[in-house]
């Protein structure tokens, strides 16, 4: 079997020599091997490719010189030795000169593969292979498109499952579309390869091509209801198109970044869930994941109960808010989540004053939202924070939430509906985890950290946005006998800078509310106000915002 990676790969030509091909598009469990044999900053697809070849002992591969990463993969595999490895040079244009150039490349590949197989080219096999090849389709029913850079099969399937509707893969290597050759009998091989080169280059161009105007065809479909635009970590080709597309298309669009592992799906599902909810759809077509009845807290679903509860299951704390039928908050609690979201939620319910039996409906949100068996439903924290903030103050149009392991900025309209959101869930910088780490380094409590920076004198700057490097910067400032209030102020400024970047990406609209554990940090809040030029509204209990939103959804059920 010959592995290939790109829609411009002449797989029908290989089929003409009896070759069987398959698209290499699997995730990797990790990149340990790839990072041993190549550079750590190789794009995640290239690393997954090396992992696959190594794990499956693949012996034959045809690559297209798409980018530096693909060329590095070729170098590594060629050095290791494979039965058949070939890199085809692909022009960036679709004009007469480039068609002739590609034809020459096809002739070279045909010679190399013919020599390797010892077989002659079979026109019938070549023609027949066009029927077997998957062709990009034009959906004639409502659908969501996954566009942009290549997405791994497993992540695509997960997203399609989460949308619960027709989801079409329109990423770079999925929208392959070639017409069948006609009158092959009368054509010689040279003419066939000339036609074939033109056919390959006449596909809807990918972002590597210099003329990408026809890419508009991908999103010009009346049945298109939304776009999830995929970018691949460390891949530059697809970063730019999103910004243009966002301004052009009339359907909702959101951007995700994937890295050819499944590990990142947990965070991804929140983004996609928030996007689906902003389109008025459920965030999880599959609903809760833990089997019902596993919990010690019985889900009595008694319509008689006069209260509704929301659980915000975060990585650090679990917050529960209980409201009555008039929407009044009648009880709330915050506990450490601990190792299991389920146990965290149980502890929270045990700590509530209002007995479980009087609660008729429960909605969960936060990272653990799909892992709480006694919840009746789950909604992403994007939509719950929007609902909770709007409930607390309906003048709010922007919400800044700094949680335990992510920070997010959400913009809402005059009715409290989510208009747009951005998240920083890729790294701990700028999150509660970052502040906890720095409190540990400075040997103080998180409460002390939240105010000590207010008495700063020397305006120090912590340049690194990465928690690890910021820690070494703090250690060297301590070694330089810099005062602790000045160091903490420097840290507050770096968190504020990260947060205000998110605000500028979503667009600042007044009034602005800050929620989450990070809102308790007066130093950080002050620095954010300085950067965005807006006085922040901070609710009495900023941790509770998501849980209040979830309780309101429970009441609406
Ligand atoms: S970006 Fe273009 S050339 Fe590169 S793999 Fe995708 S389709 Fe092929």
Spatial neighbors of 449 by CB under 8 A, at least 6 apart, are 435, 438, 439, 442, 488, 521, 523
Could you identify the atom of ligand 1 that is nearest to the CA of residue 5? 5
Alpha carbons 193 and 54: distance in angstroms, whole number: 33
Q: Which tokens hold the place of 442?
A: 């400075």
Give 65 Cα–ligand 1 centroid separation in angstroms: 9
Same domain, 257 and 147: yes
Same domain, 26 and 109: yes
Is the distance from CB of 393 to CB of 513 less than 8 angstroms? yes
Give 482 Cα–ligand 1 centroid separation in angstroms: 51
Q: Which tokens hold the place of 326?
A: 């008039």
Question: Which amino acid residue places its CA nearest to atom 3 of ligand 1?
Answer: 66
> Among all chains, which residue has been given the structure tokens 């949308």?
163
Same domain, 247 and 292: no
Give 66 Cα–ligand 1 centroid separation in angstroms: 5
Which protein residues are within 6 Å of ligand 1, measured from CB?
5-8, 64, 66, 90, 150, 172-173, 206, 208, 237
Is the distance from CB of 549 to CB of 386 less than 8 angstroms? yes
pLDDT of residue 465: 66
What's the angle, vertex CA 215, arms to CA 248 and CA 22, rounded to 5?
135
Closest alpha carbon to 6 in 83, 58, 69, 62: 62
The full 3-state SS of 427-473, as one line of letters, equals CCCCCHHHHHHHHHHCCCCHHHHHHHHHHCCCCCCCCCCCHHHHHHH
Could you identify the atom of ligand 1 that is nearest to the CA of residue 150? 6
Is the distance from CB of 527 to CB of 400 less than 8 angstroms? no
Dihedral (CA of 419, 425, 431, 433) sign: positive
DSSP code at position 81 = -
Give 378 Cα–ligand 1 centroid separation in angstroms: 37
In this structure, what CATH number is given to the domain that contains residue 105? Answer: 3.40.50.11890
Could you identify the atom of ligand 1 that is nearest to the CA of residue 67? 4
Residue span of the structural domain in which 148 resides: 143-174+208-278
Same domain, 150 and 104: no
Helix (H, G, I), strand (E, B) or coil at 121: coil
Same domain, 387 and 503: no
Is the distance from CB of 521 to CB of 553 less than 8 angstroms? no
Alpha carbons 277 and 272: distance in angstroms, whole number: 9
Structural domain contains residue 298: yes
For a ligand 1 pocket test, name from 7, 176, 212 the mutation site with the most ligand atoms within 8 angstroms of its C-beta.
7
Same domain, 19 and 130: yes
Give 106 Cα–ligand 1 centroid separation in angstroms: 17
> Among all chains, which residue has been given the structure tokens 């050095």?
79
In this structure, what CATH number is given to the domain that contains residue 268? Answer: 3.40.50.11900
Could you identify the atom of ligand 1 that is nearest to the CA of residue 206? 2
Give 235 Cα–ligand 1 centroid separation in angstroms: 11
Same domain, 154 and 257: yes
Is the distance from CB of 290 to CB of 372 less than 8 angstroms? yes
pLDDT of residue 20: 95
Containing H/E element for 334?
strand 329-336
Helix (H, G, I), strand (E, B) or coil at 528: helix
Same domain, 217 and 344: no
Residue ending a domain, among 84, 104, 134, is: 134
Structural domain contains residue 343: yes
Phi then psi dihedrals of residue 402, to 5 deg = -110, 105
> Among all chains, which residue has been given the structure tokens 């947060």?
499
> Helix 484-506 to helix 467-479 angle, to the nearest 10 degrees?
150
Question: Which amino acid residue places its CA nearest to atom 6 of ligand 1?
Answer: 172
Structural domain contains residue 195: no
For a ligand 1 pocket test, name from 3, 4, 5, 8 the mutation site with the most ligand atoms within 8 angstroms of its C-beta.
8
Same domain, 385 and 476: no
Task: Give me the number of domains the chain comprises.
Answer: 4
Closest alpha carbon to 256 in 266, 248, 200, 247: 266
Same domain, 159 and 127: no
Alpha carbons 358 and 306: distance in angstroms, whole number: 6
Helix (H, G, I), strand (E, B) or coil at 115: helix
In this structure, what CATH number is given to the domain that contains residue 375? Answer: 3.30.420.40
Same domain, 445 and 464: yes
Give 148 Cα–ligand 1 centroid separation in angstroms: 10
pLDDT of residue 295: 47
Alpha carbons 486 and 493: distance in angstroms, whole number: 11
Is the distance from CB of 510 to CB of 283 less than 8 angstroms? no
Alpha helices in 295-363 (DSSP H): 341-351
Greatest C-alpha distance within the chain: 87
Alpha carbons 226 and 210: distance in angstroms, whole number: 26
Structural domain contains residue 179: no
Give 353 Cα–ligand 1 centroid separation in angstroms: 59
Question: Which amino acid residue places its CA nearest to atom 2 of ligand 1?
Answer: 206
Strands 512-515 and 536-537: parallel
Structural domain contains residue 453: yes
Structural domain contains residue 194: no
Respond yes or no on whether the N-terminal peptide bond of residue 206 is cis (omega within 30° of 0): no
Structural domain contains residue 402: no
Residue ending a domain, among 221, 246, 278, is: 278
pLDDT of residue 300: 46
What's the alpha-carbon Rg for the chain, to the nearest Å? Answer: 27
Alpha carbons 285 and 244: distance in angstroms, whole number: 30
pLDDT of residue 42: 87
Give 173 Cα–ligand 1 centroid separation in angstroms: 6
Same domain, 19 and 87: yes
List per-residue pLDDT tens for the chain, 557 residues long.
999 999 999 999 999 999 999 999 999 989 999 999 998 888 899 999 999 999 999 999 999 999 999 999 999 999 999 999 999 999 999 999 999 999 999 999 999 999 999 999 999 999 999 977 655 668 899 999 999 999 999 999 999 999 999 999 999 888 888 988 887 777 789 999 999 999 999 999 999 999 988 898 888 999 999 999 999 877 877 878 888 888 889 999 999 989 998 776 777 888 899 899 888 887 655 444 444 444 444 444 455 678 999 999 998 899 999 999 999 999 999 999 988 999 999 999 999 999 999 999 999 999 899 899 999 999 999 999 999 999 999 999 999 999 888 899 999 999 999 988 998 866 777 888 889 889 999 999 999 999 999 999 999 988 776 777 888 889 999 999 999 999 999 999 999 999 999 999 899 998 999 999 999 999 999 999 999 999 999 999 999 999 999 999 999 86
Structural domain contains residue 79: yes
């Amino acid at each position: 079997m010959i592995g290939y990676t790109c829609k411009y790969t002449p797989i029908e030509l290989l089929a003409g020599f009896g070759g069987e091909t398959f698209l290499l598009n699997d995730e990797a469990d990790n990149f340990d091997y790839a990072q041993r044999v190549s550079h750590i900053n190789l794009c995640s697809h290239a690393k997954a490719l090396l992992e696959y070849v190594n794990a499956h002992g693949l012996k034959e591969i045809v690559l297209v010189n798409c980018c530096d990463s693909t060329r590095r993969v070729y170098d590594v595999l060629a050095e290791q030795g494979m039965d058949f490895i070939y890199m085809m040079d692909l022009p960036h244009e679709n004009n007469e000169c480039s068609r002739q150039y590609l034809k020459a490349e096809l002739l070279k590949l045909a010679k190399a593969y013919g020599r390797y197989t010892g077989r002659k080219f079979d026109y019938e096999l070549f023609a027949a292979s066009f029927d077997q090849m998957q062709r990009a389709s034009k959906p004639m029913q409502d659908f969501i498109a996954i566009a942009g850079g290549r997405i791994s099969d497993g992540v695509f399937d997960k997203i399609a499952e989460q949308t619960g509707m027709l989801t079409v893969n329109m990423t770079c290597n999925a929208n392959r579309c070639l017409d069948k050759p006609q009158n092959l009998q009368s054509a010689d091989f040279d003419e066939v390869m000339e036609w074939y080169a033109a056919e390959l280059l006449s596909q809807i161009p990918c972002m590597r091509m210099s003329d990408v105007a026809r890419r508009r065809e991908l999103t010009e479909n009346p049945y298109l209801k939304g776009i999830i635009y995929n970018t691949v970590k460390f891949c530059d080709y697809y970063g730019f198109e999103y910004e243009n597309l966002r301004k052009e298309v009339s359907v909702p669009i959101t951007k995700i970044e994937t890295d050819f592992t499944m590990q990142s799906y947990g965070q991804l599902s929140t983004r996609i869930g928030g996007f689906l909810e902003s389109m008025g759809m459920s965030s999880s077509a599959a609903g809760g994941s833990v089997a019902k009845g596993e919990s010690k807290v019985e889900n009595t679903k008694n319509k008689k109960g006069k209260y509704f509860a929301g659980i915000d299951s975060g990585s650090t704390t679990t917050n529960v808010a209980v409201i009555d039928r008039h929407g009044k908050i009648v009880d709330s609690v915050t506990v450490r989540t601990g190792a299991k979201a389920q146990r965290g939620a149980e502890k929270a319910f045990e700590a509530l004053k209002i007995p479980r039996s009087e609660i008729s409906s429960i909605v969960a949100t936060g990272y653990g939202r799909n892992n709480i068996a006694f919840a009746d439903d789950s909604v992403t924290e994007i939509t719950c924070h929007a609902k909770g903030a709007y409930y607390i103050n309906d003048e709010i149009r922007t919400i800044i939430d700094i949680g335990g392991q992510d920070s997010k900025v959400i913009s809402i309209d005059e009715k409290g509906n989510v208009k747009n959101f951005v998240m920083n869930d890729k790294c701990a910088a700028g999150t509660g985890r970052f502040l906890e780490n720095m409190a540990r380094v400075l040997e103080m409590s998180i409460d002390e950290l939240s105010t000590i920076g207010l008495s700063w004198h020397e305006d120090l700057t912590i340049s690194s946005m990465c928690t690890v490097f910021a820690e070494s910067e703090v250690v060297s400032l301590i070694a330089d006998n810099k005062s602790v209030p000045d160091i903490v102020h420097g840290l507050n400024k770096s968190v504020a800078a990260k947060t205000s970047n998110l605000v500028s990406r979503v667009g600042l609209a007044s009034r602005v509310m800050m929620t989450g554990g990070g809102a308790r940090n007066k130093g950080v809040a002050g620095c954010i106000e300085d950067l965005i030029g807006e006085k922040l509204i901070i609710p009495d209990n900023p941790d509770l915002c998501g849980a209040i939103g979830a309780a309101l959804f429970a009441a609406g059920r």
